[in-house]
Chains A and B, each alone.
Chain A
Amino acid sequence: MATRAATKIRIGRLERPALTGVLVREVVNFSSYWRSATFSSTVEPTIYLLAFGFGFGSLVSTIGGYDYVEFVGTGTVATAVLFSSAFPAMFGTFVKYNFQRTYDAILAAPVDTEELVTAEALWIATRAGVYGCVPLIVAMVFGLPPAWGMLTVPFIGFLAGYGWASFGIMVAGFAKSIENFSYVISAVLTPLFLVAGTFFPIDTLPQWAQVLAQFNPLYHCVQLVRDAAFGFQGWVDLYHVAVLVFFGLLMWRLAIYAMERKLVN
């Protein structure tokens, strides 16, 4: 029993073994539910792509010089990222905290809330980066020409996904009950999802809506993906990246704050 007494651990923040521990738990669990997660994260945006692509596509042939299918195909990458990050983060966090009590077990181990939240967000962001590519691949089947820039799409998806995952964890941290999610979904996510330039360009909207879109992380994700597919635009894209980095950092800290309030009392 005394053999391990000598291995004193350093008391640090964001220690790699703690992050790895939480990530291993997620990866091992993923092996038992990857089918359903993959299904919902890929089929939904694909349906949007097909419905809008062919529905609107028969009315509008081109937007801003792109085929409508190309326009929507690149836009729904952001939708896939959102669906595979914000939603699993909200529901997963709430279920693990409230019903499965997983976080009680993890925080009894040498893992702090900051590490727990960070590892969970990293994991969801990684999934979002992968699932975000699905609409792009589907769009390629329907004629979107491949481009080297598209290789950056998983990273764009990861970056945006990290922010949305942190956002979801924060919402779960502040929510008193799972019913409260309806407010966030209806009042925050749905408008952001629609006014992101996914299905129609925002420059046809009134001026105030265009200004508001600048505060929508999803809009910046859509723009980056489009530029990755059709050609990067230098500083403009750096600006989009900067907004997503800021969004990710802000949501990350807020998620930690919310979960600390909930888990340590």
Chain B
Amino acid sequence: MRDGLAIRLRGVVKRYGPITAVNGLDLDVPEGTCVGLLGPNGAGKSTTMRLLTAQAIADEGELEVLGFRLPEESKAARAECGVAPQLDNLDVTLTVEQNLLVFTHLYRIGRSERRAAIDAALAMANLADRRDSRVDKLSGGMRRRLLIARALVHRPRLVLLDEPTVGLDPQVRQELWALIDALRAEGTTILMSTHYIEEAERLADTVLIMSHGECVAAGRPAELIARHAGRTAVEVYGSPSQLAEAEAKARAEGFLTRRTGTSIAVLGVDGADGRAPKGERRPANLEDVFVLLTGEEID
């Protein structure tokens, strides 16, 4: 594996007809870290995930996963990867245990180790007492935990999580975060795509922000915030016309602004005592960076 990188992409391009889904992407995932792939819908996150399992074949660029060249050696890479897809594809008429059993076979775990592998995955996902439940009797959160447990059954070195908490309640989401954090603590390398900023902020060592198939920023969340949004932001509230006015005024003063829906956030007001507009002060966050870099409107 080159330079201790579990994933190494260089200049990767993927086109679907006239649409360029991934446009010259470089991506590094150092072994033992958790990298968050952040971007709005349609930014190319899912395509990137599919490229990593050779379910999509790149038109240009170099791809290496766990030291294996893709797509030629993808099968060897896949043997050591675990994938939890965005769309639930569990076998719903089977039990929790049967779902895991099938994957111990697909991932070629020897007969003598299967039982222990299933037990460990169930324990990790906190599903040991649901082992005999049919999947269609499980709650949404349990199904998602099972989807992750299924990806862990062969103790992969690299785990790919595609939007692991999309569409879940906050309570369920934090359960999954705890699971992902435990995995990270064990030293498993994780690449996680998400469009939830809080998720990336909490779990990822580094994040890569994608927009229109390109990387627009990469680094530690704190660094990205400091570099792109400054330390402090002011939120200005008011009627739509007042907001428009505040936005124009702040921009004229040379501040970066972004809309939050209910307010205008004026960014980088740290050193600008007199010129800063009045409003609620708060620390700048990754969401500020995200909206600044990926645009205020989704097209």
Residues of A within 8 A of B (CB): 1-5, 8-9, 11, 17-18, 20-22, 24-25, 28-29, 32-33, 100-102, 104-112, 263-265
Contacts and interface: CB of A to CB of B under 8 A. Distances in A.
Interface stretch (B70-78, B165-173, B195-203, B276-284): B70-78
Contacts of A111: 75, 106
A11 B80 CA distance: 13
A102 B135 CA distance: 14
A110 B107 contact: yes
A265 B16 CA distance: 8
Interface stretch (B49-57, B241-249, B267-275): B49-57
Contacts of A9: 75-76, 79, 108
A265 B105 CA distance: 26
A109 B91 contact: no
Contact of A108 (B72, B81, B105, B186): B81
A32 B107 contact: no
A8 B76 contact: yes
B106 A25 contact: yes
B89 interface: yes
B75 A265 contact: no
Give the interface SS of chain B, mostly helix, strand, loop or mixed.
loop
B80 A4 contact: yes
B89 A101 contact: yes
A28 B80 contact: no
Nearest to B101: A28
B260 interface: no
A32 B136 CA distance: 13
Nearest to B99: A28
The 7 tightest CB contacts between A and B, nearest first, are: A21-B106, A101-B89, A108-B83, A109-B106, A110-B79, A32-B93, A24-B105
Given A106-B106, A109-B78, 9 more contacts: A1-B157, A1-B188, A11-B73, A21-B107, A101-B89, A105-B89, A107-B53, A108-B78, A110-B78
A4 to B, nearest CB: 5
Contacts of B106: 18, 21-22, 24-25, 106, 109-111
Given A9-B108, A24-B102, A263-B55, A29 B91 contact: yes
A108 B55 contact: yes
Interface in B59-98: 72-73, 75-76, 78-81, 83, 85, 87-89, 91-94, 98
B187 interface: yes
B103 interface: yes
A28 B101 CA distance: 9
Contacts of A3: 155
Contacts of A102: 89, 91
| Most interface-central of B81, B87, B94, B102 (chain A CB within 10 A) | B102
B108 A104 contact: no
B85 A101 contact: yes
A95 to B, nearest CB: 12
A97 B201 CA distance: 34
Nearest to B87: A101
Nearest to B109: A4
B57 A264 contact: yes
A2 B186 CA distance: 11
